Amino acid sequence: MRQIDLHKLTDEARFNGFHAMLLFWCTLVALLDGYDIVIAGAALPSIMKQMGVAAASAGFMLSSAIVGMAIGAVLFGTVADRIGRRRAITICVTLFTVFTVLASFAHDPITFSLLRLLTGLGLGGAVPCMVALLTEYSPSRIRTRIVTLMFTGFAFGAAMAAEMSKGLIAAYGWQVMFQAAGLSIVLVPFILMLLPESMQFLVKAGRTEELEKTVAAFAPDFQLQADDQYVLPTSDKVDGAPMQRLFREGRGFSTIMFWVATFMCLLIVYANASWLPKLMISAGHDQGTALHLLAILQVGIIVGTIFGGWLGDRLPLKKVLLAFFALATMSLGALGLDPALWLLNLLIVVVGATTVGTQFLLYAYAGQFYPAAVRSTGVGWAAGLGRIGGIVGPILVGALIATSIPLSFVFLILATVAAIAFIAVALIDPGRSASAGHENSDAMASSTLSGAAGFGGQVRH
């Protein structure tokens, strides 16, 4: 009888149509996520004018979606390890589609904020589920690139929102940007039909036929034999609350450092996404230039995400993260020095690459750090608690603008935040990572699925 390690099969698989299909659908969901996040910032001047909202209050309006994203990341990240990642992603897409459209009918800041909070549940919940799914099925030699490539969808969606908003908001009002998001509801049946489910979930549920088809898709050269037994590592058996697993086997301190790093990174990300056009207008640029710089920021995100993923498959991912946060610290500080327009464009590209791009690398690192059984939980808690920084960022910058503080000090504060993130990543212990192999040395008989008689064996724990 052969014992076939399912994770080893995925690690050694060759990239094929199965992986491309999975990457395509996750990237498309990420594109919708990026579009949805940026439209609020792009439409902010028009929303403030129509609703008569001051800068400080507008910061709270923008942060309401991020509150929802924090709750959604923790909630769906944890629930997905129980109900399945495909189902969780489907629920999330439905949530952020419906409530984004409803927000376009809001006429006061309270209603708008409440609807954006509900939108955030779906936006935040989709990310850890997709990171976990891609991490599980990607070949090990290109795993970081696959996960970070998915996040280029976020940047394309954000850039699309920024460019579309320049003409559409002036012609039709800010509401049209929110209503256009309703088209994403057509994706729901395709996600349900085409996305694969986690192997760990299929083993636990005893869904043998589906697992057989999935294995045949990502490893078509593997020949099933009648007495084969598919196994998963003992670390993939969830015993007790998944959240507790984040603090076992010496992972506790590194888990907290992940939370600190994502907090600081997302503070910068959402401060820029929400206030960059307003800050550039305050620096003397016209609205068209300010929105163009917001689009340029997305170019930097794409460059940083692709290049960072490429580096992460060749160098220790921790070292790549440290280099990116060091560049973020320097470029953010330089933005406050009133650079020439050509240099401003270049700095914005670097900021995008080393802040949002670094956020995506952090998710990829967290996905590889935690065992598969609690991968969505680990990424979800890092993203969820990190998004508290995303809540603080727009409020902080809005409050700073309200005090008429010099622009250079605003960017100096953001540079200091990036430096703190650098320190947090430096303190993460890669020796405690699940990918380091310290857990997988155990016997692998805790979760098994036999392949006899048309792969119709029983699950045994």
Per-residue DSSP letter, 447: E
Looking at the 3D structure of the chain, how many domains does it have? 1
Give the pLDDT confidence score for residue 26 in this predicted structure. 92
CATH code where residue 280 lies: 1.20.1250.20
Give the pLDDT confidence score for residue 233 in this predicted structure. 57
Measured CA to CA, the distance from residue 451 to residue 458 in angstroms comes to 9
The 3 state secondary structure assigned to 59-97 is HHHHHHHHHHHHHHHHHHHHHHHHHCHHHHHHHHHHHHH
pLDDT at 417 over 90: yes
| Span of 130-144, 288-302, 317-331, 380-394 with lowest mean pLDDT | 288-302
Give 223's Cβ-side CA count (13 Å radius): 1
In Å, how far are 3, 202, 280 from 439, measured between CA atoms? 18, 21, 49
pLDDT at 260 over 80: yes
CB 90 within 8 A of CB 383: no
In the numeric block, which tokens belong to residue 255? 């888990």
| Domain housing 390 | 3-460
Pairwise pLDDT comparison (260 vs 399), residue with the higher score: 260
Give 412's Cβ-side CA count (13 Å radius): 8
State what percent of residues in the chain have pLDDT above 90.
Answer: 17
| Span of 151-160, 162-171, 218-227 with lowest mean pLDDT | 218-227
Q: What is the mean pLDDT of the chain?
A: 81
Q: What is the pTM of this model?
A: 0.74
Per-residue model confidence as pLDDT tens digits over 326-360: 999 999 988 878 777 888 888 899 998 898 888 88
Mean pLDDT of 121-128: 89
Band of the pLDDT at 388, cuts 50, 70, 90?
A: confident
Q: Which of 276, 226, 306 is nearest to 38 (CA)?
A: 276
pLDDT at 204 over 80: no
